[in-house]
Amino acid sequence: MGSPLQICSQSGLLQEARFIASPNHDDRPAESEPSLIVIHNISLPPDQFGSEHINQLFTNCLCEEDHPFFAEISHLRVSSHILIRRDGEIIQYVPFHMRAWHAGVSCFRNREVCNDFSIGIELEGSDTTDFCDIQYLVLENLIRTLQQTYSSLSKDSITGHEHIAPGRKTDPGPHFDWQRLGLSLEVTLPAGAS
């Protein structure tokens, strides 16, 4: 995944991604360009990888009978722009110019409702498991491509879900190594975060 990625300016889709359209999106507010990247982790069921359950959650098709945990979340209407699976596969659910529903109640630099101005990137993983080398490589390449495409994404425009929703969210979690991104940027973390 070292070669440059391509985003179609008209569709807002990453050409290298498998597109699975999520109904859980809407228009960004007027004059609102993406200016923040929010990194998440997700696994369904928790700490299990490789199933189609994430796709089902983001397309409102998750069956609560498939796992006890799903009864708690099958009613949710959520999405993200991108999922990077543990083998490096990229799945896109929402075009980048649209608002995905990934951040919830959130605040970044005194600016609330981060969904309005952010791009959500999910990594298939959990708070208890290290992420894969290929995921870091794909993420780095994707961030670089997004920053080249959207001038409103500055070098310090990356943060974690746990940082914009502290106390409510914990991802990408302690097993995400911010230093591994290898980008010449300043990731915005609160004081004391590693």
Element (H, E) at 56: helix 53-58
Q: 18-181: which CATH topology?
A: Lysozyme-like (3.40.80)
Which residues fall within 8 angstroms of residue 93, CB to CB, at 6 or more apart? Answer: 19, 20, 21, 22, 24, 25, 58, 59, 79, 80, 81, 82, 83, 100
Could you write out the DSSP letters of every residue in 159-191?
Answer: EEHHHHSBTTB--S-TT--GGGG--SS-----T
Dump pLDDT digits (tens) for 93-128: 999 999 999 999 999 999 999 999 999 999 999 999
Dump pLDDT digits (tens) for 2-43: 678 999 999 999 999 999 999 999 999 998 899 999 999 999
- Could you tell me whether strands 82-84 and 36-42 are parallel, antiparallel, or unpaired per DSSP bridges? unpaired
Highest mean pLDDT among 24-33, 88-97, 148-157: 88-97
Residue 145 has, within 13 A of its CA and on its CB side, a CA count of 22
Question: What residue ranges do the domains of the chain occupy?
Answer: 18-181
Q: List residues with catalytic annotation.
A: 122
Answer for the pair 117, 36: CB distance below 8 angstroms, yes or no: yes
**pTM, whole model, 2 decimals?**
0.93
What confidence score (pLDDT) does residue 184 get? 44
Judging by beta carbons within 10 Å of its beta carbon (0-12, 13-18, 19+), is residue 69 exposed, middle or buried?
middle
**Residue that has been written with the tokens 């700490």 in this structure:** 47
Q: Strand, coil or helix: what is 66? A: helix
Q: Is the pLDDT of residue 193 over 50?
A: no
Q: Is the pLDDT of residue 80 over 60?
A: yes
Enumerate the β-bridge partners of residue 38. 120, 159
